[in-house]
Amino acid sequence: MPAQSMFVWGLQRSGIHLVVSWLFANLGGSRQEPLPPARHPQLGDGFFDPVTRVAFFNNPGRFYCRAFKLGPIEPRDVEAVADEYEHCVISIEDCTLASVAQLPAGERTVSLLVVRHPLNLLASRRRGAATRPELFRTDVEFIDVLAAYYDEALGHTDHLPNRTVVVFDRFVDDRSYRDALAARLDVPNRDAVGDVSSYGGGSSFTGAAGPTSMEELHTRYLEEPLPATLLDELLDRPAIVDACRTLFGFELHSHLKTA
């Protein structure tokens, strides 16, 4: 049986909402009705399928995530709401991994960690920051959070219980990769990867909902070149350099010379 609660951790513009929509469909969700009045103010944004009782809760960190925090929510708050549904998908965006202590853990929960090619992630966030600078931070503190996510994905740290790593670049490219993820999570792969929740806001570059072409997704950094100071911050963090090599298949130093 799949877990009752699935916490999807990711940085905004990492592809988290595509993964969430895929999970929602795989758990049996098709209808999307507004959530009923929330028992907790941080758990009122999202939707559910009234037939299959599958629910999606959108980023309970809300404005707190702009400071990389989850807010005052506690494990019992999440458990009380999650127990009303057969399955819940809960997105946790732009929060430090230390926030996991504020969420329930156990056999009925799993954590998914979504990671994306750092240059494309930063390019998308910088493009989004043109209109929402308070929402898409790319400062030094954000780079530290990014490095911590990569450390977790590489297994250098162990913050998230029952963790499954989702490399977004492979997720959008490879059906067999999605099949393997679904098997690990004990859900069927209905492969609904073209339907993206409106909560994701669409592409930073086009505003369109749904994934754009693979080539465009993988070359965003060419459309939004990163400043030298930001590139230096990336190179200064071993976890980011290691993730580029291990998770995304390129050497960051060499890549920047040829970009």
Whether the per-residue pLDDT at 198 is higher than 60: the answer is no
Q: Tell me the pTM.
A: 0.92
Three-state secondary-structure class, residue 89:
strand
Residue 202, pLDDT score:
56
pLDDT in tens, 209-229: 555 666 666 778 788 888 999
CB 202 within 8 A of CB 217: no
* Pick among 3.30.70, 2.60.120, 3.30.160, 3.40.50: CATH of 5-258: 3.40.50
- Domain residue spans in the chain? 5-258
Strand ordering across the sheet containing 46-49: 33-34, 46-49, 54-57, 87-93, 5-10, 109-115, 163-167
Count the alpha carbons within 13 Å of 74 in the hemisphere toward its beta carbon: 1
pLDDT in tens, 109-130: 999 999 999 999 999 999 999 9
pLDDT in tens, 48-95: 999 999 999 999 998 899 999 999 999 999 999 999 999 999 999 999
pLDDT in tens, 157-176: 999 999 999 999 999 989 99
Those residues whose C-beta lies under 8 Å from the C-beta of residue 107, and which sit 6 or more positions away, are 3, 162
